[in-house]
Amino acid sequence: MLLKKTLFAATTAVLATLAAGVVHAAPEKPECIAPAKPGGGFDLTCKLVQSALQNGYLEAPMRVTYMPGGIGAVAYNTVIANRPAEAGTVVAFSGGSFLNLAIGKFGKYTEKDVKWVAAVGADYGAVIVKADSPYQSLKDLIEATRANPGKIVYGAGGSVGSQDWMKSALIAKQADVNYRSMRYVAFEGGGEAMTALMGGHVQAYTGDASEVAAHLKGGRVRVLAVLAPERLPGELAAIPTAVEQGYNVDWTIARGYYMGPKVADADYQWWTAAFDKMLASPEFDKLRQERGLFPFALTGQKLEEYVSKEVKRYAELAREFGLIAQ
């Protein structure tokens, strides 16, 4: 009798679990969409999850596809309107996606129109000068900008309104310089901006922390500050943050994945559970480090809350800098 009761209880529990939709199977056709051409941050983000999920998480190989256009807008609109319920499809995002959502570059859709799955790593802004620059600290650069805004030329790989421009504008703000008076040169990418810095065509490059390690080893540059909440680990541990130098500038570039809005809850939960397990593993930590990303892990509801706060923060900055109407 006891055995029958035990079997009955176990069967009931399994049926209840199935009914609740919490028993998940790995997707049959996993895909990561990089909303850009091959190469660059979105591609890196997809290649990271492609490598990580092959280690016992997926039964089928994950393919990476490319959907360039509008710095993520084409992919965002396509997934919501045309592919909203694909259980195996994740799309790469970055902090720039939040900025584009805030200023309306993704059209009628908002951050609430997709399911945010996981953030798996982050990069951070950095203020970089030549090794022989007269500016020894962020304070030196800011005071020079305040004294003569027309003399200090900032440069980065993005046009006015982009993430890299925003980093320069925030530094100018700390110098009490109106962003309209700031001298800024837009380049096609970080490589061109670094070349311009080395050639003396710009005095400061507002790039990313992940870019500078190799240049630091060669003694070619000096990093005045990392734009992170706290000091970064590893090779950049000796570089102070802007915050600890007395300047409230934090530029976190989270990287991760979202899904279509009509993906079944059970399938969405499979992904968040897989990421929770994966993000806690030393194997993933190694893969993340190899791609130059720093620790940053959020999944499910916690990520949704983070995205909502970031979009709101970017919208406030965009209004302040005249990118959207007040």
CATH topology identical between 29-122+252-320 and 124-245: yes
Count Cβ atoms below 10 Å from residue 64 Cβ, excluding itself: 17
Confidence band, pLDDT 50/70/90 cuts, at residue 266: very high
Question: 132-141, 186-195, 229-238, 282-291: lowest mean pLDDT where?
Answer: 186-195
- Flag whether pLDDT at 15 surpasses 50: no
Confidence band, pLDDT 50/70/90 cuts, at residue 292: confident
pLDDT digit string, tens, across residues 102-154: 999 899 999 999 999 999 999 999 999 999 999 999 999 999 999 999 899 99
210-218 long-range contacts, CB within 8 A, separation 24+: 210/123, 210/292, 210/293, 210/294, 211/126, 211/292, 212/126, 212/128, 212/236, 213/292, 215/128
CB 172 within 8 A of CB 317: no
- Flag whether pLDDT at 13 surpasses 60: no
pLDDT at res. 17: 40
The residue type of 63 is R
Quick one: 190 exposed, middle or buried, by C-beta within 10 A (0-12, 13-18, 19+)? Answer: buried
Domain extent listing, the chain:
29-122+252-320, 124-245
Tokens of 272: 């968040």
235-241 long-range contacts, CB within 8 A, separation 24+: 236/209, 236/212, 239/126, 240/138
Confidence band, pLDDT 50/70/90 cuts, at residue 218: confident
Q: Which CATH superfamily is domain 29-122+252-320 in?
A: Bordetella uptake gene, domain 1 (3.40.190.150)
pLDDT at res. 227: 96
pLDDT at res. 24: 63
Reduced to 3 states (helix: H, G, I; strand: E, B; else coil), residue 226 is: strand
- Flag whether pLDDT at 296 surpasses 60: yes
Would you identify the CATH topology of the domain 124-245? D-Maltodextrin-Binding Protein; domain 2 (3.40.190)
Nearest CA to 63 out of 86, 80, 97, 82 is that of 86
> Which residue has 């130098």 as its token pair?
245
Tokens of 159: 């046009």
pLDDT at res. 229: 93
pLDDT digit string, tens, across residues 47-71: 999 999 988 899 899 999 999 988 8
- Flag whether pLDDT at 2 surpasses 60: no
Q: Could you give the angle at which helices 163-174 and 95-102 cross, rounded to 10 degrees?
A: 80
Q: What is this structure's pTM?
A: 0.81
- Flag whether pLDDT at 201 surpasses 90: yes
